[in-house]
Amino acid sequence: MRIADHEIITMRRRSFIKAGTLLTSGISLPVLAKKKDTKSTGRPTVISTWDHGLMANEVSWSVLQAQGTSLDAVEQGVRVVESDPLVRTVGIGSYPDREGIVTLDACIMDYHSNCGSVAFLQDIENPISVARKVMEETPHVMLVGNGAKLFAMSQGFKETNLLSELSKKEWESWKLAAKYQPIINIENHDTISSIALDSMGNLAGACTTSGAAYKMHGRVGDSPIIGAGLFLDNEVGAAAATGLGEAVIRTAGSAMVVEAMRNGKSPQQACEEIVKRIMKIHPDTKDLQVGFIAIDIQGNYGAFSLKRGFSFAVCDDQKGHRLVPADYLN
């Protein structure tokens, strides 16, 4: 079942302008699918987490409308969010860890179950594109830390200072007040996860984040972990997560959402089932927020979170762009 009742149509002028700029700048032109695949649902759809999902979806949607692949759509979409210094939880301008260093995690997956991932990556603005290069240019799935950075630079990515003046200032005052204790609560992390179905009936997903603000140096969450932050099976559907990564990893969250769909649950029911499972193993949910988005191979979608406040952006042919508040458990 599609969520339809409480959808809020929200079009953002700022993100329109950014998307337009990106597409005409020459760096992110959609790559057209080279071969036709057998399945054809004719229902392109893209879903992304949080309100910055709107900005991603505008770019993703223009790729999908040009008969581009879901892989290009999700990569190009989340890149815009990574490159926006005003988004404080993804890419440049993000909150740093408790040492004042911005470290980024990302992963990407295509309909052949190819995947690539980077974790604990520093000084590179677009980790999602590095993750794609890992997928396409190496025999590996995951590169981390300095190895990931050196690989990125060998692929032509530029070294960039990711710590904005604002983030530096806030981190300095955080250090005084928080006594250096890493905290993860429902306010200080908002990954962009994006999943899409293209006109060839193929799924892809991307997930990119700076993780939790003021985390321990070296901490990696669920977002770059295939099966936790993102998973898809092109015969079934795709799912992606946001929220406390540790809780998502413990349940192999996104993989379990896809498995629930394989077992007959709708995307909405599948997200609900795994959120409930997470709640069951976490007796104290005071500071815990976890949310999932999911889409099946027919283009039906759903989302659900543990707590109020999670929203997702969606775009399809029928209704265009909108931001939807997700249903939640408590």
Residues at the site binding ligand ASP, with contacts judged by CB under 6 A? 189-191, 209, 211-212, 221-223, 242-245
**Closer to ligand ASP at the Cβ: 244 or 293?**
244
The amino acid at 112 = H
Q: Which residue in 89, 191, 208, 242 is the catalytic one? A: 191
Q: Shortest gap between Cβ of 318 and ligand ASP (angstroms)? A: 28
- Rg of the chain over Cα atoms, rounded to whole angstroms, equals 18
Q: Shortest gap between Cβ of 208 and ligand ASP (angstroms)? A: 10
Tokens 């594109």, residue located: 129
**Closer to ligand ASP at the Cβ: 202 or 251?**
251
168: left (phi over 0), alpha (psi -120 to 50) or beta: alpha
Q: Shortest gap between Cβ of 70 and ligand ASP (angstroms)? A: 21
**Closer to ligand ASP at the Cβ: 190 or 198?**
190
Q: Contact at 8 Å (CB) between 327 and 271?
A: no
Q: Shortest gap between Cβ of 321 and ligand ASP (angstroms)? A: 22
Q: Is 191 annotated as catalytic?
A: yes
Largest CA distance in the chain: 59
Count CB neighbours of 100 within 10 A.
15
CA angle 233, 112, 61 (to 5 degrees): 80
**Closer to ligand ASP at the Cβ: 291 or 299?**
291
Virtual CA dihedral for 158, 52, 226, 141, nearest 10 degrees?
-20
Instruction: State the catalytic residues.
Output: 191
